[in-house]
Amino acid sequence: MQAMLENRRSTATGGFPERYAGIGHLDDLEVYREAHRMAFEVYQQSAALPLLESCGLAAEMRRAAVSVPFTLAAGLGRTGKREKLQCYIAAQVSIAELRERCMQAMDRGCPGSLFEALTASDRIAVRLHSMMQRIREGT
């Protein structure tokens, strides 16, 4: 499986398949990559949540974290300004939900390593905001 994935990747697109090579700004791909890494980290960190919390809070954190790269990818695939913005707004909402769930977990004494997810979500939110501004301004 790994060999098959490696064959589909290109160094020209930073390890992403060729079909993503024509996407607008490089920042668009960078923010996606960062969101993907953040979702992976949240999955790892939420595994450390106490059993009582793991049923509800961890599942909500994972859903919100995974939703960010999914909606970013959907936005990257859209050509219309309005459609792109709708996807990016949905990603912003997921970031806000993830931040709230991480803060709840930290307030309950869960791992401080969730702080990394909070800082990553802040970086993603800032980059996402600038992407949306570029779209609105038409640049």
Tell me, what CATH number does 66's domain have? 1.20.1440.60
For 81-113, where are the alpha helices, taking DSSP H only? 81-107
In a domain, 85, yes or no: yes
Domain of residue 112: give its range.
Answer: 25-137
Q: Which two tokens stand for residue 83?
A: 């459609």
Does 113 reside within a domain?
Answer: yes
pTM of the full structure = 0.76
In the structure, what pLDDT confidence band is assigned to residue 7 with cuts at 50, 70 and 90?
Answer: very low
Percent of the chain beyond pLDDT 70?
A: 73
Q: pLDDT: is 34 or 111 the higher one?
A: 34
3 lies in a domain? no
Domain-located, residue 10: no
Residue 6 within a domain: no
Higher pLDDT among residues 48 and 34, named by residue: 34
pLDDT single digits (tens) 86-106: 999 999 999 999 999 888 888
Total domain count for the chain? 1
Residue 73 lies in a domain: yes
For the cut 50, the answer to whether the pLDDT of residue 51 exceeds it is: yes
Asked whether residue 30 is assigned to any structural domain, the reply reads yes
| C-alpha–C-alpha distance, residues 6 and 15, integer Å | 8
Radius of gyration of the chain (CA): 16
